[in-house]
Structure 1
C-alpha cells in the first residue's frame, strides 16, 4: 500500500535480454514518478528505435556503460552519470561494453512503467505473427509509445549487437 492509499504491485520481468524491475510505482508518490531498474548483458540492443509521447525518461547508470542513440547522435554514459531521453525523441539504447549494464530508469510521469509488465505477458514475439503484433501495437497505442521494429536489424549490424 502506498502513502496515498493506492495499491501498488511490483514486478520483476525479463523482456528477452532486458530485465525490468519496478522499484518505485507512480502510485507511491504525489509526483507520479516511477523508477524501474533495468539490466542488460554485454553487446546487446535493448529495444528498437522508439519514442514516448507522454513521458520523459532519465537513466542513471549504476554499473557498466549505456550507449544511447537519440536524434541521430550516439553518446555513451558510465557509472554515476545521467542521460535524459525526452518525450517525442526517437531513441534507443544498448550495452556496448564488456560488462553487464545496470541502470535506473526514472519515468516522469510514471504511468509507462506498467508497460513492461504488460508486454512481458507475450514477449518475445515474432513480428511476423500478426495477432501478437496487433496486440503489441494496441498496447503501444494505449501508452502513447511508437516503435520502429524494422530498425532492429540495422542497429544490430551497424553497432555489432544482438537482441
Structure 2
C-alpha cells in the first residue's frame, strides 16, 4: 500500500493507463495549490464520470488533444490551451489520436494526494468488490464521487479503452 502524502512528498504512479506525477505539492506554497502532470495513451478514457466537491481542476494541455465531457457538453482542448473542470460538475476526459500530456492545477491542492493513494487499487477491476469498495472509500474521504457504471457506455460511444 502506498503511503499517503502530507502535502510535500512527490510521487510518480500509474493508474491503469493514466500516469500521474506530482510536480508541485500543495505544501510547497502558501496558496495550497498542487500541480500534477498526467499522461494518457491515444483513445483512452482517463476516468469514469466523476465530480469533486472541494476543488477545481484546471487542465493545461502540453501535448496531444483532450476531449472533455462536462455537464453533458463535449469540448476539445488542443495543446497550448486550458480548460476548467469546476467543483460539483460531473465530468470526464480522454485522449484523441495522439498521446496526451497535460498539467492539472488543483485548487485547493489536497486532491493531488488522491492519485498516489488509489494507485495500489489500480487498474480498477469492476469485478473485484474489495478494490472497488476501497477506491470508493478513498474517494469519499476526498469529496470525490465516481460513476463507475459510466465506463462501458463512454468507451463504446466514443471508441475508447480504459
* TM class by smaller structure: over 0.9
In the alignment, the residues of structure 1 paired with residue 16 and residue 132 of structure 2 have an alpha-carbon distance, to the nearest angstrom, of 16
- Structure 1 residue runs without a partner (length 5+): 1-5
Describe the superposition over 1:98-130 as per-residue Cα deviations: whole angstroms up to 9, x where unpaired. 211100000000000000000001211322222
Deviations 1:71-122 (A, max 9, x none): 00000011110100000000000002x2111000000000000000000012
**Residue matched to 2:29:** 29
1:52-71 equivalence runs, <5 A: 52-71=52-71
Instruction: Tell which structure's C-alpha radius of gyration is larger.
Output: 1
Q: CA RMSD in A?
A: 1.1
Question: Within 1, Cα distance between the matches of 2:140 and 2:76?
Answer: 30
- TM-score, scaled relative to structure 2: 0.94
How many residue pairs match? The answer is 157
- Give matches, 1:105-120, under 5 Å: 105-120=104-119
Deviating above 2 A after TM superposition, structure 1's stretches of 4 or more consecutive aligned residues are none
Q: 2:74, 2:107 → 1: CA distance?
A: 23
In the alignment, the residues of structure 2 paired with residue 7 and residue 30 of structure 1 have an alpha-carbon distance, to the nearest angstrom, of 11
Secondary structure class of the residue paired with 2:50:
strand
1: CA distance between counterparts of 2:124 and 2:150? 16
Alignment of 1:94-109 (within 5 A): 94-96=94-96, 98-109=97-108
Cα distance in 2 for residues equivalent to 1:59 and 1:122: 24
With structure 1 as the length reference, what TM-score do the two structures score?
A: 0.94
The runs of 5 or more residues in structure 2 that have no matched partner are: 1-5
> Residue 84 of structure 1 corresponds to which residue in structure 2?
84
